[in-house]
Amino acid sequence: MLLVVDVGNTNTVLGLYRGKTLTHHWRLTSGSHTCDELGLALLNLLGTAGIGANEIAGAVVSSVVPPMDLALGEAIRLYLGSEALFVSTALDLGIEVLYRAPHEVGADRLVNAVAGVEAYGAPLVIVDFGTAITLDVVSGEKAYLGGAIAPGMALSMEALFGKTARLPKVSLAAPASVIGKTTMESIQAGIMYGTAGLIDTLVRRIWKELGDQAPVVATGGQAESVSPYTETIGKVDPWLTLEGLRLIYERNRPKAEA
């Protein structure tokens, strides 16, 4: 089986693939952990799924939290017996990267582009709802062009509550009307409909620059809750990043495992 790990600033998403089928997935809180803490967490997750460490034949990691990389790589090697493949532009991604400074591109953005092109073709716009909201653009020639980064919904709410004494914390849900009748509804309207509007504005500007209304696919934690209120997102694919990790691993599989 293949272990795929997407380490984000807030959450870490793990999945297990048997061939091309995603059989298990988990979402954990990212943070500072030792090799042993991570290793025991991995064994515990596998144990709940009835899977032994010896069944893991390979591992691939996408990370935007460099301080976690060393401990995670050691945990996978020591506790699962696999050498983790970390995604970077040095790998064979199957797409051209036209970012001005390729090493600056978040690994998750590249992984999403790889999976998006495979599943939906090109050109394509990918919206990822994470700690930050990223929009990534792939040209009709299947080249990664770049994109836009905006504060994520949870980040925006934390900033709002941190600077205002009387505003209550609310759940990320859309009220029935954009004209909120309570303070809670007003905040929800601003966050949910405001995020939907931000996405639509950026996508339309991207379309204008591309000269083509490329399909738009969304992924990430809040993709399903926000997408219905947008006018440009056509598809939600919650496991797009994990699928991209599998594809990149297959293209770069160590020769001993091929």
pLDDT digits (tens, 9 = 90+) for 134-180: 999 999 999 999 999 999 988 888 877 776 656 666 777 888 999 99
Question: What is the domain partition of the chain in residue ranges?
Answer: 2-86, 123-238
Whether 61 and 72 have beta carbons less than 8 Å apart is answered as yes
Catalytically active residues, by annotation: 108
Express each pLDDT in 51-93 by its tens digit: 999 999 999 999 999 999 999 999 999 999 999 999 999 999 9
In words, the CATH class of domain 2-86 is: alpha beta
Question: What is the fold of 123-238?
Answer: Nucleotidyltransferase; domain 5 (3.30.420)
Whether 123-238 and 2-86 are alike in CATH topology: the answer is yes
Quickly list H helices, 33-176.
35-48, 66-80, 107-120, 153-163
- Provide the sign of the torsion angle of the four alpha carbons 55, 57, 63, 69, taken in this order: positive
